[in-house]
Structure 1
Amino acid sequence: MTQDERVDGRHPEDADEMPWAEVTPDAARRLLVAAVEAFAARGYHATTTRDIASRAGMSPAALYIHYKTKEELLLRISRIGHEKALRILRRAADAEGTPTERLAEAVRSFVRWHAGHHTTARVVQYELDSLGDEHRPEIVALRRESDAAVREIIEDGVAKGEFQVPDVPGTTVAILSLCIDVARWFNTQGRRTPDEVGVFYADLVLRMVGAAPRA
């Protein structure tokens, strides 16, 4: 998460999480955070390694100690971001409860992450095509796992008569696209917190799949 991303409204499980804590040493983490900010502001292709190093307060030569190429930085950002997103969806899919409850939690948590980490999420979700043929398949595979987690919940809801969905694959794509797009427009100065946006989107999605109104 970068400095411009708000932390209020985050899920309790994320409250004590240090942004990019899995990236070590500290210099590598600083460079990765700087890369996220630069890619979000200028786009991957318009960003130079000098831009990234400057944002991190380091020399361009220092970047190559930790990352061989600019693409390696993007791959690391994409991998970590997609793995976190997948954990959110998988946790909801594997939880106890009805399909309606699990789908609501999946959407609520997924949207909350994209709003609360909107700068990071824009890079993670919208720079896929900037990865080369060697690295793109790894991220595509993670996306397919996320798709499968949501599709599994919807299929269960249809089988149990809770959802009215004639096209499960198409509905899955629509739901994920709706949630991901929050990263494009979320504004920290807006009237809703990430958690409130998550609740709002969960209700929208339940209506989309024809779930019975919740009490």
Structure 2
Amino acid sequence: MSTTARVSASAAAGADRGAATPTAPDTGSDTAHRLLEAAAEAFADRGFHATTTRDIASRAGLSPAGVYVHFSSKEELLYQLSREGHEAARDMLVHASEAAGSPTEALRAIMSTFSRWHAEHFRVARIVQYEFGNLTGEHRDAVLRLRKQIDAVVRDVVTAGVASGEFTVEDVPDTTLALMSMAVDVARWYDPEIKRTPAAIGEAYADLGIRLVTAR
């Protein structure tokens, strides 16, 4: 089976295992998107616990009661932000892998894309990482399923690289964790005021990722 086929099959299997994901509210309206954007800003500025639904509503130009038309609670808003962020990341990595012609090209694309995304969307990424513990158990489980799907994409590429002789890796799970941790950590230290652009960070981390799996 090719690298692309394995990655696609793994992602599909992950989606099947996640069939019990909690039903999400309708977030397709413009108002719902405004609320999500307002919640992201509020959580980033004040933290989850210090943010109230009134804060979120005010930033979205709505009355406090307007929040509950679309979301049952501020925790629901946090969950939707986390779910959408993880789904976007998973889909980006699958696409990056499928467009590559070899495990080396796939891993370079994955590391570049994932690192750049965490710089470009650092505010949401920080919320997803630092406020994860404030989700309900059901919502945490749903997000963890998405994280496993993301890990599976990278793990399959590393496994394929080992099989083809392109990578020298003794422990695929630990190496996968290290690669993902590198990219995710960009959200912690990135600041728009620094001179390095998200694109430059992506290229640098792509090089670092390849060095990690080809080191002798």
What TM bracket, shorter-length normalisation? 0.7 to 0.9
**Superposition deviation, residue 66 in structure 1:** 1.2
| Separation in structure 1 between the aligned mates of residue 82 and residue 120 of structure 2, nearest angstrom | 17
Q: 2:39 aligns with which of 35, 42, 47?
A: 35
**Superposition deviation, residue 127 in structure 1:** 2.1
TM-score normalized by structure 2?
A: 0.84
Equivalent in the alignment of 1:204: 208
Q: Aligned runs of 1:62-81 on 2, under 5 Å?
A: 62-81=66-85
Equivalent in the alignment of 1:54: 58
CA shift digits 1:152-181 (9 cap, x unpaired): 000111111111111110111111111011
- The answer as to whether partners of 1:100 and 1:211 remain within 8 angstroms in 2 is no
Equivalent in the alignment of 1:9: none
Equivalent in the alignment of 2:4: none
- The answer as to whether partners of 1:108 and 1:201 remain within 8 angstroms in 2 is yes
Q: 1:193 aligns with which of 183, 189, 197?
A: 197
**Superposition deviation, residue 134 in structure 1:** 1.8
Equivalent in the alignment of 1:127: 131
| Separation in structure 2 between the aligned mates of residue 211 and residue 98 of structure 1, nearest angstrom | 18
Match status 1:181 vs 2:189:
no
**Superposition deviation, residue 27 in structure 1:** 1.6
- The answer as to whether partners of 1:162 and 1:211 remain within 8 angstroms in 2 is no
| Separation in structure 1 between the aligned mates of residue 187 and residue 144 of structure 2, nearest angstrom | 19
Equivalent in the alignment of 1:86: 90
- Residue type at the aligned position of 2:193: Q
**Superposition deviation, residue 82 in structure 1:** 0.4
Match status 1:100 vs 2:80:
no
**Superposition deviation, residue 52 in structure 1:** 1.0
- The answer as to whether partners of 2:100 and 2:109 remain within 8 angstroms in 1 is no
How many residue pairs get aligned? The number is 191
TM-score normalized by structure 1?
A: 0.84
Extract structure 1 runs of 4+ deviating beyond 6 A.
none
Equivalent in the alignment of 2:161: 157
Identity %: 53
Mind listing any 5+ residue stretches in structure 1 that lack a counterpart?
1-21
| Separation in structure 1 between the aligned mates of residue 215 and residue 105 of structure 2, nearest angstrom | 10
Q: 1:167 aligns with which of 164, 167, 171?
A: 171
